[in-house]
Structure 1
Amino acid sequence: MDRSAEFRRWKAQCLSKADLSRKGSVDEDVVELVQLLNGREQFFTTSSCAGRIILLDRGINGSDVQKQNCCWLLVTHKPCVKDDVIVALKKANGDAILKFEPLVLHVQCRQLQDAQILAVRSTHGLEVPLTHKGKLMVTEEYINFLIKIANQKMEENKKRIERFYNCLQHALEKETISMTSYPKEKIKEKNNSSYTHKNKRNPGKACGKYITEENNKELENDDHDDPGISVTIFPEDY
């Protein structure tokens, strides 16, 4: 089976699986973006989050920020209010942290040139400790201040999702026009030439900033079982 057929099989298999996220469905603000990617033969999403405000309790002994080992005191994909956070904080036994996390998409791409139209990591986040060993370390006034910042970031994140969607849609439409305007042989030759040129100019960064170093190493192995390229998207400047 060729790599394109294997990618299609893998895509169908992954998209047919049940949603195992806590919510059990794609977030409303990112549904159209996920559908846009999954509607193209060269992409499919493996997980997504439109952005959220969360309150985590690490526990009295843990210092890790690994969410799987934390107690989720509050999570919302919409703006929140101070009273909800105060009530949730009463359940904290350890070090509670208020966080805002922006849009995250995990996308599998068929090949390198497909990954090159996607975006990169953003620093548009927030993480602030509020309690220590169950004791509140800040004032309610400060909590209210933090919530306003988190809500502002949530609104900005929504605008960024819309801009990213529009830019991606435009790029895909432009790619489609380009693909139908030139013979497949010429496109393949052009892609191979571009990749070879980048390789010679900077072998360590041939894949650009769109994929991780581990993925770059995987590309060098022709016998690798993975038929695609995995990309994590944290949109920022779009």
Structure 2
Amino acid sequence: MDRNAEFKRWKAQGLSKADLSRKGSVDEDVVELVQLLNGREQYFTTSSCAGRIILLDGNINGFKVQKQNCCWLLVTHKPCVKDDVIVALKKANGDAILKFEPLILHVQCRQLQDAQILAIRSTHGLEVPLSHKGKLMVTEEYIDFLLKIANQKMEENKKRIERFYNCLQHALEKETITNSHPKEKIKDKNNSSYTHKKKRNPEACGKCIEENDKELENDDDPGISVTIFPEDY
């Protein structure tokens, strides 16, 4: 079967199912981004999260939190208040961890060059232990302080989602224009130094891409996980 036709069939099957995230649906703040990706023939999303604050209860294994083995005491995709965390902590029997997680997208890509547009990572997170064996180890004042930081990160995360959407839209539009002018594409390939320079700082995206490049250097961009359509699928 033709590779493109097979990916198209695979995509149809994937989009016919519910989002594989714990929530089972796409968060409001990331709907447009998911639609943008799914509207392109070379992509489809399988799981997504616009960003969340969560309180987990479980055992810390080598100082690593294994979410699949934890009890989810609290989860919100909006700013969180101290009283909600305090109430949730009363249910903790193990080691409670407060976390902020930024944008997460799991995207299936048709081929390597499609995945390269999306291959970025994020360290814009927060993970702090609050209790041990059910005993609260910090003050309520400190919890309030942590939530201010987490809520600030949530607001910044929304701005980054919007910025990433705009940059991705520019990149995909440029790709469409390039693919529609194959002669110019071949000419660019013959000038490797020029091509390399354009890849590092595409003028078509203007300030949007320049700001994104700076964010990449700081390793603080939204997190995207990509899977390339296997050659032998």
**TM-score normalized by structure 2?**
0.78
8 Å CA contact retained: 1:37, 1:44: yes
Give how far 1:70 is off: 0.2
Q: Deviation digits for residues 132-174 of structure 1, max 9, x if unmatched? A: 0000000000000000000000000000000000000011111
Q: State the SS of the aligned residue for 2:13.
A: helix
Name the structure 1 match of 2:69. 69
Secondary structure, counterpart of 1:73 in structure 2: strand
C-alpha distance in structure 1 between counterparts of 2:45 and 2:136, whole Å: 39
2: CA distance, partners of 1:218 / 1:158: 15
Indicate the residue corresponding to 2:48 in structure 1. 48
Q: Aligned with 1:97: secondary structure? A: strand
Secondary structure of the residue that 1:206 maps to in structure 2? helix
- Alpha-carbon shift at residue 183 of structure 1 (Å): 3.3
Q: Give yes or no for contact 1:119–1:234 (8 Å, CA) kept in 2.
A: no
Q: Taking structure 1 as reference, are residues 5 and 51 closer, same or farther at Cα in structure 2, changes over 3 Å only?
A: same
CA contact (8 A) 2:111 2:228 kept: no
Shift of 1:2: 1.5
Taking only aligned residues, the RMSD between alpha carbons, in angstroms, comes to 9.0
Instruction: Kindly state the Cα deviation for residue 124 of structure 1 after the two structures are TM-superposed.
Output: 0.4
CA distance in 1, matches of 2:230, 2:207: 13
CA displacement 1:153-205 (0-9 Å, x = unmatched): 00000000000000000111111112x542389669959999999999999x9
Return the offset for 1:43: 0.7
Q: Which moved further from structure 2: 214-223 or 102-111?
A: 214-223
Ranges in structure 2 where 5+ consecutive residues have no aligned partner: none
The answer to whether the 8 A contact 2:56-2:98 is kept is: yes
Distance 1:126 1:197, change over 3 A: closer
Change (3 A) 1:200 1:162: closer
The C-alpha deviation readout for 1:34-93, integer Å capped at 9, x for no partner, is 000000001111111110000000159996511111000000000000000000000000
C-alpha distance 107-234 of structure 1, shift in aligned 2 (>3 A):
same
Q: CA deviation at 1:17?
A: 1.2
**Where does the alignment leave 5 or more consecutive residues of structure 1 unmatched?**
none
Distance 1:222 1:160, change over 3 A: closer
Q: Which moved more, 1:227-236 or 1:131-140?
A: 227-236
| Number of aligned positions between the proteins | 233
